Amino acid sequence: MRTSLQGSWSLVLGVSSGFGRATARAVAAEGGNIVGVHFDTAEGQESATKLADDLHATGVRAHFFNLNAASPATRSEVVSQIAELTDGNGLRVLLHSLAFGSLMPFVPPTDASAGTETVSPRQMAMTVDVMAHSLVYWVQDLLAAGQLPSGAKIFAMTSAGSTRVLGDYGPVSAAKAALESHVRQLAVELAPRGIAVNALRAGTTLTPALRKIPGADRYAEASLGRNPHGRLTEPEDVAEIVTLLATPDSSWLTGNVIGVDGGESLTA
């Protein structure tokens, strides 16, 4: 059986850009309501407000919070709001698309002109906490509040960095590896409750998060050369898959890292 997203509620962590924003638009286009969390200074706040207005214009409800999604206080506030908004019915989709971390080498480069700064314990811990562990804590709090019913779908955005090395991406690579592990663990622990958990491994996508990675231009060009579709991944490619995989009532598709990259990872 399948259930349409019409009238459902989805929680998008990282709603103001990239995959989060595209998914919010796609879910709203199918009549789904959105609770979004983002963490931005004024400029990002303006674009988030515009997105919320666009979603409202489609006739759905949208509630955004400009708060740090990795903080316990944020979870507590947003989860209690969700309980009210969904009228006790809970969420259909939880999308974890948080890109905030330190992009730093582990050891100083041999070329001293490139700088000598290396990742600190604090930066490493922060990156893995935001981009990986926070998924577990949101699931714990949503479940405790009764907001993850049977049939709910949890998606976490991962990247090729979980198994590949890319310059200063080390702390984020560690976070992606941990995130995929959390997805498997949650999938098994949530199976008896009928909740599916999957990681989506997007191909290289020109999101604001990618542009912050040193050397991103060269990497994007190489990815474009590898992608058998002859183009890079767009946020909308991922959003379409989220809305598709959110419709089955079944939780049999669970615990996977699903490539949504047009075959980019297959070619040498």
Kindly list the residues in this chain that would bind other proteins in the complex (CB under 8 A). Answer: 39-43, 45, 66, 68, 70-71, 100, 102, 120, 122-123, 126, 130
Q: Which long-range contacts does 83-88 make (Cβ < 8 Å, 24+ apart)? A: 83/145, 83/146, 83/147, 85/9, 85/33, 85/35, 85/61, 86/9, 86/147, 88/146
Taking the complex as a whole, the smallest distance from the CB of residue 182 to other proteins amounts, in Å, to 19
Taking the complex as a whole, the smallest distance from the CB of residue 245 to other proteins amounts, in Å, to 30
What are the residues whose beta carbons fall under 8 Å from the beta carbon of 252, sequence distance 6 or more? 196
Taking the complex as a whole, the smallest distance from the CB of residue 49 to other proteins amounts, in Å, to 13
Taking the complex as a whole, the smallest distance from the CB of residue 135 to other proteins amounts, in Å, to 16
Taking the complex as a whole, the smallest distance from the CB of residue 68 to other proteins amounts, in Å, to 6
Question: Nearer to other proteins by C-beta: 69 or 196?
Answer: 69
- Kindly report the CA angle at 258 between 256 and 259, in degrees rounded to 5? 155
Question: Nearer to other proteins by C-beta: 45 or 58?
Answer: 45
Taking the complex as a whole, the smallest distance from the CB of residue 227 to other proteins amounts, in Å, to 31
Question: Nearer to other proteins by C-beta: 41 or 110?
Answer: 41
Q: How many residues does the chain have?
A: 268
From the number of C-beta atoms within 10 Å of its C-beta (0-12, 13-18, 19+), residue 144 rates as exposed
Question: Nearer to other proteins by C-beta: 130 or 242?
Answer: 130
Question: Nearer to other proteins by C-beta: 73 or 268?
Answer: 73
Pairing of strands 33-38, 62-66: parallel
**Of 171, 147, 164, 21, nearest to 92 (Cα)?**
147
Question: Nearer to other proteins by C-beta: 69 or 197?
Answer: 69
DSSP state of 243: H
**Of 23, 35, 26, nearest to 79 (Cα)?**
35
